[in-house]
Amino acid sequence: MSTIQKNARPTLLGNSTTTPIDQRKRKEVTVRVRQQVAIFYVGGAGDKRKFLPLPEFIAGPFRNILDAKKLIDNRTVTLQRQGLIIGLWRGYYELYGDDNIKKNIIAHIPKKSTPIIIIGHSLGAWNGAHLSALLIQKGYTVEMLVTLDPVGEGNIVSSSSEIYSSTPKPTAKYWINILANPKDDNFSDFIADFGEQWKITSGPHINGVVDVNHADAGIMFRTPISDGRSALDIVCKTILELTK
């Protein structure tokens, strides 16, 4: 007659042990977390707020830089839904000074390794270029800078607006600059002349010139400038690579 061991638990499956061979057969699974990309769209004079106390059709806000944002949003719908893109609209004055940068920029970047893309227009391109260098100094990762017809060289505008007085020294892994050089000027080109375009001769990886009026940030952004590619094409390709 067999004796049942005290406290033994009957089981239908029997006893199970794991041998060293079984352990070697186990597969190591690496889970890769897809990273977010922070994109800051920086508008110029009369973009997010009025530039002068005049009627809106003269002084804004015109929301010119949002045309560039819409173009990117339309191409990255899935990434937007997955929460992989942080896209924020800022006025050039919201990048002026340490307190504004902390509140309006740094507070919205998840971590220092988060890739940052800055797309600025007019005075927003000028301050955005300054921002790229300031963020790098603080240890952040500026993946790309796009300056759309940057303005800010004029003494009058630099003394009367919330822009940095010194010429920017951008720092980014990749820099695209676009100069607006229209055959037919309009009122926005007069404003750009008043503020003085920053005509860059060296530094950008791509330095394009387009027949587009100063105010048309969206058209500037989607106009081919290099090998048939637009700034929009290059930025979207970069976003897709960063969020794989």
Domain borders along the chain are 35-242
pTM of the model: 0.85
Taking the CA atoms of the chain, what radius of gyration do you get in angstroms?
26
Mean pLDDT of all residues in 165-184:
96
Q: What is the pLDDT of residue 11?
A: 43
Question: Is the pLDDT assigned to residue 160 strictly greater than 50?
Answer: yes
Q: What is the pLDDT of residue 173?
A: 97
Residue 95 binned pLDDT confidence (cut-offs 50, 70, 90): very high
Q: How many CB atoms lie within 10 A of CB 121?
A: 34
Please tell me the number of Cα atoms within 13 Å of 31 on its side-chain side: 1
Mean pLDDT of all residues in 10-16:
45
Higher pLDDT among residues 8 and 102, named by residue: 102
Q: What is the pLDDT of residue 12?
A: 41
- Using CB atoms within 10 Å of the CB of residue 216, give its burial: 0 to 12 exposed, 13 to 18 middle, 19+ buried: buried
Question: Is the pLDDT assigned to residue 158 strictly greater than 70?
Answer: yes
Q: How many CB atoms lie within 10 A of CB 9?
A: 6
Question: Is the pLDDT assigned to residue 115 strictly greater than 80?
Answer: yes
Question: Is the pLDDT assigned to residue 14 strictly greater than 80?
Answer: no
* CA 33 – CA 28 distance, rounded (Å): 16
Q: Do 125 and 151 touch, CB atoms closer than 8 A?
A: yes
Mean pLDDT of all residues in 174-179:
98
Q: What is the pLDDT of residue 50?
A: 82
Round the average pLDDT of the chain to a whole number and report it: 89
* CA 220 – CA 150 distance, rounded (Å): 12
Higher pLDDT among residues 6 and 167, named by residue: 167
Residue 3 binned pLDDT confidence (cut-offs 50, 70, 90): very low
Q: What's the CATH architecture for 35-242? A: 3-Layer(aba) Sandwich (3.40)
* CA 122 – CA 50 distance, rounded (Å): 14
Digit-coded pLDDT (tens) for 35-64: 999 999 999 999 998 877 767 777 778 999
Q: At what angle do helices 231-242 and 65-75 cross, to 10 degrees?
A: 50
Which amino acid makes up residue 80?
A: Q
Torsion sign across C-alpha atoms 224, 220, 162, 112: negative
